[in-house]
């Protein structure tokens, strides 16, 4: 061999080609994403050690934490469930939070997910250890107060987007001597019945709380100065209207539920129909599209009609921006509740809060027994605990320079072996979020499998690839309604600026993109036994099933027979 030619020969590892190395994964959070991880990772990844740390006393994520009256999903029930576990017995078209959490618990128990979940364990920090190529994760046991360190090869974040709340910055808020409630930290022991209540905020939480408590309170002052769209039926309006022409949420009848239970195929067809309604409206997000113009006309007329007895409220709400520029909600019975005699809609800004009530900018003071703040969450995307990646660079620094970004919403810069569910630009604007979560789960699995199979210690997105994906976002978004001026958590609570929450496309396009990872977009570092020859992972080039005769013909287990032309 000439001296200038590298010698690629090496000592073969005495292993089968499919004897994959052990990998340890830590996942943070046990909502939809964490539960999907607990089900799919053990199914698909060999020699896996998996731990899921959940800070709450039970699984479910946002559906465990949010317990306010009227909490519900704004996506129809048939589309807000795992593709592999259809539940036909949802009681309502838009499921309550409590019912969604029970569904998640049922699924977790059925598929054995809970054995991987450690509840009441809060992750308080994570640091990449370069020399060892592992993540060091600091965890606090909330039951005992013990703080300990765990380590893993891959760290997966399933903490969600909207899970960190705070009180609104209103002068005198803490001086109030009545009951102070927040939609994200609801006190179940407090009974609002026959009380005089102030409800602050017109986001999705406030829109759900109002119709839930208006019939039972003595009086409710609803403070909301936002311009907003209330979309009757949302973007499954066709089915929502068929079920309930008045625009309220509708319960499935006993006869429907019985039919769904007795004929599962009929329910699957119904589910496909509802999901098809959600998956065929993406052009409503395109500025000046026919569907966007048509939706604006329909929604405005519906709002005007429902607020006919209080036209001043319609004038206060009437938006100048197109639908879906902000998060849109079906808002069953919200507008109708505003029109009730015991509800006062107040669009005047709040000046300050006193011991017994709220003073608005016009000097008027309204005394109340309780104040409910439904004022949203932290939308900064900053991590909930310190995360330090390669070279001592923190994720907070990475996402503050100049905005949060992640390659295909999963990989952040300078964070090897660190994957994120619903990261920056990871929430699809149309279709089901659950489909997006499942798609990301399968993508992350493929990444871990590649490293495990081919002997890579680390994978990290290339800077050019990250910037290319961000460039696509910046090229796509100007054609959408999200580029219009409207204050939204899609833009980190700003009226204008970069859209950091939404994927530039539909949920089905998101799924299609993630089905085929672009390995050329990553830096891979090899394990020690593959540094001489990158094919060292082949071992002795036999499968384990051949060597121990347990599965000598795996290719016969799933034969794909091609179609014959002319045959049905």
Q: Tokens 């539909």 correspond to what residue?
A: 506
Say if residue 76 is in the same domain as residue 197: no
How would you write the pLDDT of the chain (568 residues) with one tens digit per residue?
566 667 788 888 888 988 999 999 999 999 999 999 999 999 999 999 999 999 999 999 999 988 999 999 888 999 999 999 999 999 999 999 999 999 999 999 999 999 999 999 999 999 999 999 999 999 999 999 999 999 999 999 999 876 667 788 899 999 999 999 998 889 999 999 999 999 998 888 899 999 999 999 999 999 998 888 888 666 666 676 676 666 667 889 999 999 999 999 999 999 999 999 889 889 989 998 999 899 889 889 989 999 999 999 999 999 888 888 888 777 888 999 999 999 999 999 999 999 999 999 999 999 999 999 988 666 667 778 999 999 999 999 999 878 899 999 999 999 999 999 999 999 998 889 999 999 999 999 999 999 999 999 999 999 999 999 999 999 999 999 998 888 887 887 787 889 999 999 999 999 999 999 999 999 999 987 666 788 888 888 889 999 999 999 988 988 988 889 987 6
Q: Which of 233, 232, 248, 243 is nearest to 301 (CA)?
A: 232
Residue 409 lies in a domain: yes
Q: What is the CATH number of the domain that holds 217?
A: 3.50.50.60
Residues 133 and 199 in one domain: no
Does 557 reside within a domain? no
Question: Among 339, 356, 373, which residue terminates a domain?
Answer: 373
Residue 60 structural domain: 23-162+379-525
| The pLDDT of residue 568 | 62
SS3 299: helix
Residue 5 lies in a domain: no
264 lies in some domain: no
Give a yes or no: residue 311 inside a domain. yes
Mark whether 357 and 401 lie in a shared domain.
no
Element (H, E) at 317: helix 311-317
H or E element, residue 241: helix 237-243
Tell me, yes or no, whether 343 and 469 share the same domain: no
| Separation CA 238–CA 507 (nearest Å) | 20
Q: Check if the beta carbon of residue 490 is closer than 8 Å to that of residue 500.
A: yes
Measured between alpha carbons, how far is 62 from 59 in angstroms, rounded to an integer?
A: 9
pLDDT at position 261 = 95
For residues 59 and 104, give the distance between their C-alpha atoms in angstroms, rounded to a whole number.
8
Q: Do 207 and 339 belong to one domain?
A: yes
pLDDT, residue 530, reads 66
Shared domain for 98 and 201, answered yes or no, is no
Q: What is the pLDDT of residue 398?
A: 93
How does DSSP classify residue 232?
Answer: T
Tell me, what's the pLDDT at 11? 83
Residues 62 and 156 in one domain: yes
Q: Are 415 and 304 in the same domain? A: no
Number of domains in the chain: 2
Instruction: Identify which of 123, 95, 112, 101 has the alpha carbon closest to the alpha carbon of residue 31.
Output: 101
In this structure, are 71 and 204 located in the same domain? no
pLDDT at 244: 67
**HEC sequence for 402-456:** CCCCCECCCECCCCCCEEECCCCCCECCCCCHHHHHHHHHHHHHHHHHHHHHHCE
**Same domain (yes/no): 213, 101:** no
Q: Are strands 456-461 and 522-526 parallel, antiparallel or unpaired?
A: antiparallel
Euclidean distance between CA atoms 286 and 481, whole angstroms: 6
373, 396, 412 — which closes off a domain?
A: 373
Note whether 195 and 327 are same-domain residues. Answer: yes
Position 167 scores a pLDDT of: 85
DSSP state of 282: G
- On whether residue 508 sits in a domain, the answer given is yes
């Amino acid at each position: 061999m000439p001296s200038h030619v590298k010698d690629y020969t090496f000592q073969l590892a005495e292993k089968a080609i499919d004897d994959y190395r052990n990998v340890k994964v830590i996942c943070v959070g046990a909502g939809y994403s964490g539960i999907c991880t607990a089900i799919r990772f053990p199914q698909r990844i060999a020699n896996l050690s998996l731990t899921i740390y959940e800070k709450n006393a039970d699984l479910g994520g946002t559906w465990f934490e949010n317990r306010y009256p009227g909490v519900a999903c704004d996506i129809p029930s048939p589309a807000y469930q795992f593709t592999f576990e259809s539940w036909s017995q949802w009681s309502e078209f838009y499921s309550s939070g409590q019912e969604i959490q029970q569904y998640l618990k049922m699924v977790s128990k059925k598929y054995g997910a809970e054995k991987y979940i450690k509840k009441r364990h809060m992750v308080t920090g994570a640091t990449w250890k370069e020399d060892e190529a592992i993540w060091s994760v600091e965890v606090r046991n909330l039951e005992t107060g013990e703080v300990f360190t765990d380590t893993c090869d891959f760290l997966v974040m399933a903490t969600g987007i909207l899970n960190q709340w705070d009180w609104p910055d209103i002068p005198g808020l803490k001086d109030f001597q009545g009951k102070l409630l927040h939609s994200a930290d609801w006190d179940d022991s407090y009974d609002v019945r026959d009380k005089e209540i102030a409800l602050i905020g017109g986001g999705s939480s406030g829109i759900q709380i109002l119709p839930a408590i208006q019939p039972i309170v003595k009086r409710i002052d609803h403070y909301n100065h936002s311009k907003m769209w209330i979309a009757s039926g949302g973007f499954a309006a066709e089915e929502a209207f068929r079920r309930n022409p008045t625009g309220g949420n509708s319960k499935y009848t006993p006869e429907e539920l019985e039919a769904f239970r007795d004929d599962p195929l009929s329910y699957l067809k119904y589910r496909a129909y509802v999901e098809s309604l959600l998956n065929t409206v993406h052009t409503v997000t395109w500025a000046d599209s026919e569907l966007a113009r048509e939706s604006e006309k329909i929604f405005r007329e519906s709002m005007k009609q429902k607020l006919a007895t209080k036209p001043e409220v319609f004038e206060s709400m009437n938006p100048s921006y197109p639908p879906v520029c902000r998060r849109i909600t079906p808002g069953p019975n919200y507008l109708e509740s505003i029109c009730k005699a015991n509800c006062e809609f107040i669009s005047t800004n709040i000046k300050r809060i006193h011991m017994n009530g709220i003073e608005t900018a016009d000097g008027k003071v309204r005394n109340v027994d309780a104040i409910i703040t439904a004022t949203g969450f932290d939308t900064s995307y900053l991590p909930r605990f310190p995360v330090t990646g390669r070279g001592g660079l923190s994720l907070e620094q990475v996402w503050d320079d100049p905005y949060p970004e992640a390659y295909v919403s999963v990989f952040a810069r300078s964070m090897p072996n660190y994957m994120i569910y619903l990261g920056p630009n990871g929430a699809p604007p149309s279709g089901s979020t659950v489909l997006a979560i499942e798609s990301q789960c399968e993508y992350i699995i493929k990444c871990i499998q590649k490293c495990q199979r081919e002997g890579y210690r680390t994978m990290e997105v290339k800077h050019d690839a990250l910037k290319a994906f961000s460039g696509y976002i910046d090229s796509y978004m100007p054609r959408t309604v999200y580029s219009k001026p409207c204050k939204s958590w899609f833009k980190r609570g700003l009226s204008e600026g970069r859209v950091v929450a939404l994927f530039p496309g539909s949920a089905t396009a998101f799924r299609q993109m993630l089905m085929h990872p672009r390995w050329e977009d990553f830096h891979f570092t090899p394990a020690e036994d593959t540094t001489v020859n990158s094919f060292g992972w082949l071992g002795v080039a036999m499968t384990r099933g051949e060597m121990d005769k347990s599965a000598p013909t795996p290719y016969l287990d799933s034969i794909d027979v091609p179609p014959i032309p002319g045959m049905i």
